[in-house]
Amino acid sequence: MTVSRAPRWMCSYSPEVRTVPAGRWWNAVRVPVALGALALESLGDETGAVIKDGYGGIMYWLVLPGDASEWRLPDVQVLGRGSHVAVPPLRRTAGPGLYWRVPLTHDTYWTNTTRLRTALTAAIPAP
C-alpha cells in the first residue's frame, strides 16, 4: 500500500521502526493478539489503523488523544502521555516483527473508541 501523504507524526520516507510518543497525536490501545484478533474481526471495516507486534504478541489501535484513558478492561492497556509506541514504516504491512495489520492512511487512522470498547468487551473471556 502506498500512502500519498503521511500524517505529521509519521516519517513517510523512513524504512526504520520509530518510537513515537503517545498522547499528542493519538492514544494507543494495547491488547494481546488473541484478544485483538477477535476485536478486529468484530470491528471489520469500522477499524482504524492497527499495529501488530508479531514477536511480542501485541496489537495497538490508535484512538483520539485523551480517549479511552479511563478504561479499566482486563488485558487492555491505554497508552497516553508519558508512554511511547514503536511504529513501523508505512510500507511494512506484513510480518514478521512489527507491521501495520491494518494500514495507516492520511485520512483515517483513529478507531472510534465506543466501537472499539464494545468489540474488546465482547472479546474478553467471561470469568
Tell me the pLDDT tens digit for each residue of 57-71: 999 999 999 999 899
* Amino acid present at 13: Y
Distance between CA atoms of residues 76 and 87, nearest Å: 19
Split at pLDDT 50, 70, 90, the class of 12 is low
Tell me the pLDDT tens digit for each residue of 81-103: 999 999 998 889 999 999 999 98
Q: What angle do CA 97, 100, 102 make, to 5 degrees?
A: 140
Tell me the pLDDT tens digit for each residue of 105-126: 776 789 999 999 999 999 998 7
For 1, 14, 61, 99, the CA distances from 74, given in Å and listed in that order, are 34, 35, 16, 24
**Taking each helix axis from N to C terminus, what angle separates 33-43 and 113-123, rounded to the nearest 10 degrees?**
120
